[in-house]
Amino acid sequence: MKHNSDYIDKVLERNAPSAGGGFSEEGLKRAEALIALYPKKRSALIPLCHLAQGEHGWITEECIEEIAGLLGVSPAEVSGTASFYDMLHLEPVGQYVISVCTNIACMLAGAYELLEAAEEKLGIAAGQTDTDMRFTLEEAECLGACDTAPCLQVNSRFFGPMNSASFDKLITDLASGALAGVVPPHGVLSRVERVFALTAKDTDDAGAIDSKEAGQK
Ligand code: FES
């Protein structure tokens, strides 16, 4: 696995979302570097939200305040923008965010049966996180991997076609750490996710799909 800096190494070492807190010292340096890329500071709002999520697994209240201060906008503007996007979380989520696609191609291939099996296996309903903060289950719109329907996404990795048996195996492998090199922690920076996707095998035993084939940009 290759990635670009000690900072990213540290982000990847995170194995569970934090309960809260602001940016780390290194995170603040990266925030300032990101802001410098834009003619207007406020254009860095979403990149800074991703940065916060990369550090904590979600966008903490402290990070919202810090982002607002760095960009010269109100905290309400930061949280209002972040709340618009499904991929940004304003409350703690599990180490693994599992998004089951129930859009048309997946629905016709058994997505709702898969979602029901996932709810039963994890003991939570879609939209909930288990008590160990290990898994969050979501229902998702088209993931752009219709050719592998029914499919799902775990953090930045796609898996499909799935059924209840392969879902059980996926959960077992995630819980045991067998997929630690394939599925990055939730919230890691998009360029790290791309590195994971590009270096993982096209299809592994658990059914992970190369993100290029699945249409991930
Ligand atoms: S409909 Fe499920 S990935 Fe497109």
pLDDT tens digits, residue range 172-200?
A: 999 998 988 788 877 766 555 555 544 33
Q: What is the pLDDT of residue 180?
A: 82
Residue from 113, 139, 146, 209 whose mutation best tests the ligand 1 pocket (most atoms within 8 A of CB): 146
Q: What is the pLDDT of residue 128?
A: 94
At 105, is the pLDDT very low, low, confident or very high (cuts 50, 70, 90)?
Answer: very high
Classify domain 96-209 at the CATH topology level: Glutaredoxin (3.40.30)
Q: What is the pLDDT of residue 74?
A: 97
On the question of pLDDT at 160 being above 90, the answer is yes
Determine the distance separating the centroid of ligand 1 and the alpha carbon of 212, expressed in angstroms: 15
Report d(CA 131, CA 101) in Å as an integer.
Answer: 23
Residue from 108, 114, 143, 152 whose mutation best tests the ligand 1 pocket (most atoms within 8 A of CB): 143
Nearest atom (ligand 1) to Cα of 148: 3
Spell out the domain ranges in the chain: 18-82, 96-209
Query: Which CATH number among 1.10.10.1590, 1.10.1140.10, 3.40.190.80, 1.10.1040.10 corresponds to the domain 18-82?
Result: 1.10.10.1590
Residue of 2, 71, 38, 40 whose CA lies nearest to 52: 71
Nearest atom (ligand 1) to Cα of 101: 2
Q: What is the pLDDT of residue 16?
A: 65
